[in-house]
Amino acid sequence: MTTRRRWLIAAGATAVLVAIGLVVFAQDEGRLPSFLRRDTTWQAMQGRGTWRVGLDPSFPPFEMLDQ
């Protein structure tokens, strides 16, 4: 292994560890990015006991209305 390859592997491993550390730290502080947060929609639907569905007639599968 060349010195350059070792340096790249070490830098890559360090970057991965820093990224993991930032995610863990943000999770402890409650500041996760939106794509990592847990979606509570299903729990809310189960709590209400109902589903709310809205259909827009202009959406392509529903654009043909009886006129």
Mind listing the pLDDT tens digit for each residue in 10-59?
999 999 999 988 877 776 656 666 666 777 888 888 899 988 777 666 66
CA 25 from chain centre, in angstroms, equals 17
Output b/e per residue, 23-56; b: 16+ Cβ within 10 A: eeeeeeeeeeeeeeeeeeeeeeeeeeeeeeeeee
Question: How many whole angstroms separate alpha carbon 22 and alpha carbon 14?
Answer: 12
State pTM to two decimals.
Answer: 0.42
Residue 12 has a pLDDT of 96
pLDDT of residue 63: 59
